[in-house]
Amino acid sequence: MDLERNELIYNLYFKDKLTVSKISNKINLSISQISRILSKSSLYQQEKANRKEENHKKHNEQTKEIMRKKRMEEKAIMDMLHTQATKELSYTLPISKVALRKNCSSAYNYNTKRKRFELKKDMVYSTDMPKIIKY
């Protein structure tokens, strides 16, 4: 009975490549009992090391894929922002007051009383810059 059970455990672990917890569920033995039986085999430590290495490689590949997708998303966002900034700052389209205030943020102060941005009085600026920007 014990030899048959041990043989079944060896087959499930080495041939079918099941984990110790799956074997435990399948034949109703505790994980520690399964581990104890497997540790008697001379092949167990090598198989365990191989599985650990495979899992490490798999984890690295998954991490690389996640980072690649994240970089692609970030690049798409940066491209969109670059295109938007190019359009706002190009001479072919008039620049909006909001875009001007964003790009010249040091030239404006926010007046909380009047709820608007006002051009600083001590600044030297172009005559076409708006003195007031309301939202």
Q: Does residue 135 lie within any of the structural domains?
A: yes
Q: Does residue 64 lie within any of the structural domains?
A: no
Q: Does residue 132 lie within any of the structural domains?
A: yes
pTM (2 decimals)? Answer: 0.49
Domain count of the chain? Answer: 1
Domain of residue 103: give its range.
Answer: 95-135
The total of other beta-carbon atoms located within 10 Å of residue 99's CB is 16
Cα-based distances in Å from 109 to 77, 114, 123 = 29, 12, 11
Tell me the pLDDT tens digit for each residue of 26-82.
999 999 999 999 988 888 889 999 999 999 999 999 999 999 999 999 999 999 999
Cα-based distances in Å from 29 to 71, 74, 124 = 46, 49, 83
Q: Does residue 101 lie within any of the structural domains?
A: yes
Q: Does residue 26 lie within any of the structural domains?
A: no
Q: Does residue 67 lie within any of the structural domains?
A: no
Tell me the pLDDT tens digit for each residue of 73-127.
999 999 999 988 887 777 666 677 777 777 787 888 888 999 888 888 887 877 7
Q: Does residue 15 lie within any of the structural domains?
A: no
Measured between alpha carbons, how far is 22 from 15 in angstroms, rounded to an integer?
Answer: 14
Q: Does residue 77 lie within any of the structural domains?
A: no
Contact assessment for residue 8 and residue 27, using Cβ atoms and an 8 Å cutoff:
yes
Nearest C-alpha neighbor of 103 from the set 129, 123, 79: 129
